[in-house]
């Protein structure tokens, strides 16, 4: 079986608006402008699209697994159903430990094994240091999107997912 290339995607702040608090209510879950187009462009160029998101509010009892799944369905519906997989870590360090939760990389490692992903040809797009740390642990390149954190030197950064998608394709020579 041939290895596949992938773009791993953090959810809140990359695919939908970051509310600063937990985003779990459907009426507050709003896909960012340009996201459907960016995902379609990556898909057209042969990338698997896999969401990897921490959802610690489940462990805290703020919202349920069903709330997470409903938001993921809304995301899929908004993007034409082209996301290949959605992984989430429901744990929170104050309540339950988990190697799935970023900055650990178990969500990525599971997807890499399941989908036969070539890590050197894959990327993670995230908006926090823990996203970038998970990418490094899993052996994939990363792009920081959003407003850079002070005193951080990112290897690659973009203002949003659309710009990150353009950058990935430029690096690939497309």
Active site amino acids = 10, 12
> Beta-carbon neighbour count of residue 147 at 10 Å?
10
- CA dist 140 and 132 (Å) reads 9
Q: Which residues, 6+ apart, have CB-to-CB distance to 51 below 8 Å?
A: 8, 9, 10, 11, 15, 72, 75, 83, 85, 86, 87, 88
CA-only gyration radius of the chain, Å: 15
CA angle 158, 36, 119 (to 5 degrees): 60
d(CA 26, CA 81): 17
Dihedral, 59, 143, 115, 75 alpha carbons, nearest 10: 60
Token code pair at residue 155: 């290897």
């Amino acid at each position: 079986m041939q290895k596949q290339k992938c773009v791993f995607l953090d959810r809140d702040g990359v695919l939908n608006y970051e509310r600063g608090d937990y985003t779990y209510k459907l009426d507050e879950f709003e896909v960012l402008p340009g996201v459907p187009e960016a995902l379609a462009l990556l898909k057209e160029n042969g990338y698997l699209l896999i969401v990897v998101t921490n959802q610690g509010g489940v462990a805290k009892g703020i919202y349920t697994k069903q709330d997470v799944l409903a938001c993921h369905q809304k995301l899929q519906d908004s993007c034409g159903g082209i996301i290949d997989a959605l992984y989430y870590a429901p744990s929170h360090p104050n309540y339950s430990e988990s190697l799935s939760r970023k900055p650990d990389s178990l969500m990525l490692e599971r997807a890499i094994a399941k989908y036969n992903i070539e890590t050197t040809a894959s990327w993670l797009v995230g908006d926090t240091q823990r996203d970038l740390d998970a990418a490094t642990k899993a052996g994939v390149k990363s792009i920081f999107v959003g407003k850079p954190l002070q005193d951080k030197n990112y290897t690659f950064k973009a203002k949003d997912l659309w710009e990150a998608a353009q950058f990935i394709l430029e690096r690939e020579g497309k």
